[in-house]
Amino acid sequence: MSSGAADVLVPVAVVLFGLVIGSFLNVVIARVPAGESIVRPPSSCPACGYEIKAYDNIPVLSWLILRGRCRNCGSSISVQYPLVEAGCAALWLAVYWRFGGLGWEFALSAVLLAALLALAVIDARVYRLPNPIVYTTFFVGLALVVAATAATGDWNRLRDSLICAVASFALFWAIAAVGGAAFGEDAMGFGDVKLAGVLGLYLGWLGPRYVVIGLFLGFLTGAVVGLAMRAGGKKKRRDPIPFGVFLAIGAFLGILVAEPLADLYLGRL
């Protein structure tokens, strides 16, 4: 394959695979919070129970062709389905561009962002970060950072990854404890604390600067949006904030801008 053809075919493959994984994330989002199996039964229309055929299960395309309706009963199918599929493909394409191709950086970022997409949608809907997803993401990440370290031979990166995982977990645990003592309420859920540890593991392998900038941007967006919603009367003081959504946004932004930001900052010293 000439490099010209690869320049087109590889990103196209990244997008197609991202769409398929996005379709799987929809199953995870719909079933895991309810404690249902993600393997069986096959997907069916929630309104009429009609089993969704393979030709009606093509990411994004099927939803557009059926105009967001069930083929059998015509009841509407949430736009969340094509959005999650397209979103996963877009995230994968973004990190493919960011790292200039396929490699361990792409693999770690793609797996992390797919998991965070599912967790963010669930957190926004039910204010929970289900343990099965958080733990699975952690152990897959552990296997990936060990494999990536063995492949690259740079053992400092495994050390950084593990230290960042423990440090992020401890930092968020301390914030949750202090917040709880200060406000007499759950400032931050324990799901957020565990998720911070997972971010530290993945982003720590990319480099400690990714963890610092990713967690900081997560805090910043969460604080700004949370305060804006309270000021706008959309949220009361005691209403929960789905902080996992902002951790996910921070991680994505961190992956995109950590390196250029750090270079800019260090270049000025």
**Buried b vs exposed e over 159-178: b needs ≥16 C-beta within 10 Å?**
ebbbebbebbbebbbebbee
CB of 78 to Zn ion, least distance (A): 13
Applying CB under 5 A, the span of 73-81, 131-139, 186-194, 221-229 interacting with Zn ion comes to 73-81
The correct pick among 38, 48, 126, 223 for binding Zn ion (CB under 5 A) is 48
Applying CB under 5 A, the span of 3-11, 68-76, 123-131, 241-249 interacting with Zn ion comes to 68-76
Do 141 and 195 contact (CB within 8 A), yes or no?
A: no
How many Cβ atoms are within 10 Å of 97's Cβ, its own excluded? 13
CB of 64 to Zn ion, least distance (A): 17
Nearest to 187 by CA among 200, 175, 199: 175
- The Cα–Cα gap between 104 and 243 comes to 28
Residue 73 touching Zn ion (CB under 5 A):
yes
* Token pair of 29 as six digits: 């989002």
Applying CB under 5 A, the span of 43-51, 163-171, 209-217, 234-242 interacting with Zn ion comes to 43-51
The correct pick among 29, 45, 198, 258 for binding Zn ion (CB under 5 A) is 45
Residue 50 touching Zn ion (CB under 5 A):
yes
Token pair 């740079």 is found at 154
* Token pair of 79 as six digits: 């736009």
CB of 142 to Zn ion, least distance (A): 41
The correct pick among 72, 80, 136, 221 for binding Zn ion (CB under 5 A) is 72
Residues contacting residue 134 through CB under 8 Å, at least 6 positions apart: 119, 191, 194, 195, 198
Q: How many residues bind Zn ion (CB under 5 A)?
A: 7
Residue 70 touching Zn ion (CB under 5 A):
yes
Binding mask 121-160 for Zn ion (x = CB under 5 A): ----------------------------------------
**Helix (H) and strand (E) counts for the chain?**
9, 0
CB of 114 to Zn ion, least distance (A): 28
R_g of the chain, CA atoms, integer Å = 20
The correct pick among 47, 143, 227, 228 for binding Zn ion (CB under 5 A) is 47
Interface residues toward Zn ion, by CB under 5 A: 45, 47-48, 50, 70, 72-73
